[in-house]
A and B are shown apart, each in its own frame.
Chain A
């Protein structure tokens, strides 16, 4: 069967959704995605699968070594945006190399009750020069900090934006993605007039 390459195959872009265990990565991917969130397993050969510590995390009893996967098709521009929720625990980050290759940027989800849980992700993206923003997932019983307090607590430079979101709401998740694109656009030199 003959097919036209450019017609049939869309432009693919990838954004990573990172953050600590229980912060809402799976929820975020599921809310933003046009398909049911899928779970893609990577093959683990050396990592030991232990028990995550559960302090302060509600309704969460198991974890899998898996990537959450979602997609948003932008039909009118022939683009498919893929969302990958990355494995939260550092010991699984060997998977991140393939994930990070070619990623446009990342959303680091943070829970103000356990801000330190996203340090690893922040460091990781900073070290690799992958653009990211921090989206504070607002859990009801969490204390509300203002942006500067969060920035200071994360030791985040002025470069990375901080936005608020509710990972359960599609509009809110998509809005965090838009903020990330705005952030990327801000770093593109304007074409000289």
Chain B
């Protein structure tokens, strides 16, 4: 799709400690990772291996104890509050396991909120919001509040919201974690479609093996370190194995 592929995320020797009582636990033990623009990356690993922690570092939601994260060759630890807000607003779209829509706002208002922050005019934002909700398959439901929507529908709204300002990166932390198998598969399909059609880099932390089929690369994390990184072509074999182990998907 793109003639010049460039590195959009570069993680260099990132370590993260958390205080635990009097001690500190090292959750990330030196992670190096390079992600190209337009890639669909899955970060896989057992519970507690540090996926969300790494995800938060990449998304500028938390600061590494040591090491650096570059977004498009800009060291995000050097950004001030305004620049970080701008980065979150325009360049990164976040999707969470628990959807995290704002309950008092309608689907459409949730989607247009980042556009409002970006200074977009009200009518333009409405139009774009409706267009995005149609894109994720929620054309008629934009006046509903999150609690009036199913989990899958809420996650669709969250995806539409993450696309509000045409971000370069979508960060999804277990986007299918609270969904049943088939709804999860639909959400994964949607993310894949967005990545292919819009050239968005999708980075998702997950333990959903359905993600493997659509990922360009899979980063396996174990105990705060990268265990291995597999490309799509190497994956097909192991996916067969895994689906067998996991049982047939819905």
A and B, one complex?
Answer: no
Report B's interface with A, CB cutoff 8 A.
none
Report A's interface with B, CB cutoff 8 A.
none
